[in-house]
Chains A and B, each alone.
Chain A
């Protein structure tokens, strides 16, 4: 079993964090994991992406060149990576920022209104958590409990109060295609 994810968007959208939480949650379930960020001269507002591989055996390439699961948080990312997707893959895109776009018909398409749901929850910064929830719902890469524990650990004691709002966002995302 090997699952590959490519998560892409603007810097500042929490793209790298989505990937890290996927990797950390899978590590909690004793999978082999790797997380590889794009690194370059781009800073905040520029393009950011990361590749996550989770596997039950030693991971070969940590790069994801033909993503079976693509998360596109903005339009440029969708344009860049959708053509590279493996046929039959799962495409999750941020429907709040991406409208009127031609999508491939040989992949499963899941529109996720990340910013809209985050706004409903009263915290725009949880948009990436909505997407993380949608990834969980669509791929079941770990149990919801593992993800929640991972999130709790990541927030730590100082930000423990943030767990509820973030978990609500994840649940809303998960409900979209559970």
Chain B
């Protein structure tokens, strides 16, 4: 089945009975398939007058508690953003499929991944997050589409399935057996909040689907409640796939179609003895930070590959927390990276050490050199000293020196002793002379008096 058809059938098997959309390549097989299948299962297919209308129909059907889906591609998804923000604010579950094409603007119709920021950062206004599921094969597109309906109902939130033109157009074998007539997850509650028509006799309060909170105190409380929900989603719903990361020195991070191309590149590098592994985020939000950090044990470098100029690479850098270099390779505008290009990039990374490693290597080499030089010098000194010490002529000279110094010391000591005695004598003589001098003065004084 084609990816687009598989997604449409998966949605129907998960109980989706309302589809509202407006055509755009490369996702047209979804509405085409829905237009044929919805009447067969008693559902509603409606081609709206615009994307804005379609998303607001989704808002209405979801608010009434139905399983509802819309699909589009990049420019159309941009148009839907206002409605998505309202749906978030009103806590209405729904599924939105984006088969991304090259942008910005009308861009191209070829596959791209350049809507990563828009999808994971909240493309509409306000303080919100939205779970984003990125299938890597047609089979996985089936599973994730069905899971998206459960996620949406569990957390009362819109959920996005983010594919690209390749996933949508590619045909792969699909096992629909498990996906057939899929029942909602067992933990899901009855939608008592849904606006299904109030009866005057009913005790329950009126169900109100609304995203307007005039009082900022109340809106802050509402946003905090949403945030608590996002914390719970981050804790429970993060998904990823690891491949060959146990001993990987270079870890690729890639999602969707790009991950398949990167997988081929990884295998080629492994054949060449380069230890490459891969983390494939399946949920782009919540992002598998912990899984990426776990690879730091062996990973020296990271390579993020995307069909964009580099968007998810930001999240990889946040996950790695600056502990390792994170490089990027990407093609954009509808161009798809080739296996050869990624292999070349990986070979380059494996061959050339990072800046930090280069510095460490240089320092180590310099230290080694200095140590060797010092060792050689000391060894030279040592042998020279040894030779000198053991030289009979040197020994003789030393002995002679010792003897001479002994004699000299004796003489010097004697000399010093004599000198001391001499000093003593001079001192006493000087003292005597001084005393005499003082005494003489006294007499002179007396003499003066006597003369008067």
Contacts and interface: CB of A to CB of B under 8 A. Distances in A.
Contacts of A32: 173
A62 interface: yes
Nearest to A62: B170
B263 A60 contact: yes
B261 interface: yes
A36 B166 contact: yes
Given A39-B26, A39-B109, A61 B170 contact: no
B336 A34 contact: no
B26 to A, nearest CB: 6
Contacts of B265: 60
A35 B172 contact: yes
Nearest to B109: A40
Contact of B109 (A41, A59, A61, A66): A41
A63 B170 CA distance: 10
Contacts of A34: 170-172
Contacts of A142: none
Contacts of B169: 36-37, 39
A153 B230 CA distance: 49
A60 B109 contact: no
Contacts of B267: 60
Given A39-B109, A40-B109, A60 B171 contact: no
A60 B264 contact: yes
B196 interface: no
B143 to A, nearest CB: 15
A41 B110 CA distance: 10
A27 interface: yes
Which applies to chain A's interface (DSSP): helix, strand, loop or mixed?
Answer: loop
Contacts, number: 56
B171 A23 contact: yes
B260 A65 contact: no
Contact of A59 (B26, B110, B260, B336): B260
A33 B172 contact: yes
Contacts of B382: none
Contact of A65 (B172, B173, B257, B339): B339
A32 B338 CA distance: 20
A126 interface: no
A65 B110 CA distance: 16
A36 B110 CA distance: 13
A31 B325 CA distance: 39
B25 A65 contact: no
A27 to B, nearest CB: 5
A174 interface: no
B340 interface: yes
A66 B110 CA distance: 20
B260 A61 contact: yes
A62 B340 contact: no
A20 interface: yes
Contacts of A40: 109-110
A35 B336 contact: no
Interface string A25-47: 00100001111110111000000
Contacts of A63: 166, 261, 336, 338
A23 B1 CA distance: 12
Contacts of B166: 36, 62-63
A132 to B, nearest CB: 17
A33 B170 contact: no
Contacts of B93: none
Interface in A1-54: 20, 23, 27, 32-37, 39-41
A58 B340 CA distance: 19
A27 B260 contact: no
Contact of B173 (A20, A33, A37, A41): A33
B21 interface: no
B339 A35 contact: no
Interface in B165-179: 165-166, 169-173
Contacts of B25: 39
A66 B257 CA distance: 18
Given A39-B165, A41-B109, A60 B339 contact: yes
Given A35-B172, A61-B260, 14 more contacts: A33-B172, A34-B172, A35-B170, A35-B171, A39-B26, A39-B109, A39-B165, A41-B109, A60-B262, A60-B264, A60-B339, A61-B338, A62-B260, A66-B340
16 contacts: A20-B171, A34-B172, A35-B172, A36-B169, A37-B171, A39-B25, A39-B26, A39-B169, A59-B260, A60-B267, A61-B260, A62-B170, A63-B261, A63-B336, A65-B340, A66-B340
Interface of B: 25-26, 109-110, 165-166, 169-173, 257, 260-265, 267, 336, 338-340
Interface of A: 20, 23, 27, 32-37, 39-41, 58-63, 65-66
What 7 pairs between A and B have smallest CB-CB spacing? A60-B264, A61-B261, A60-B263, A35-B171, A61-B264, A65-B338, A36-B170
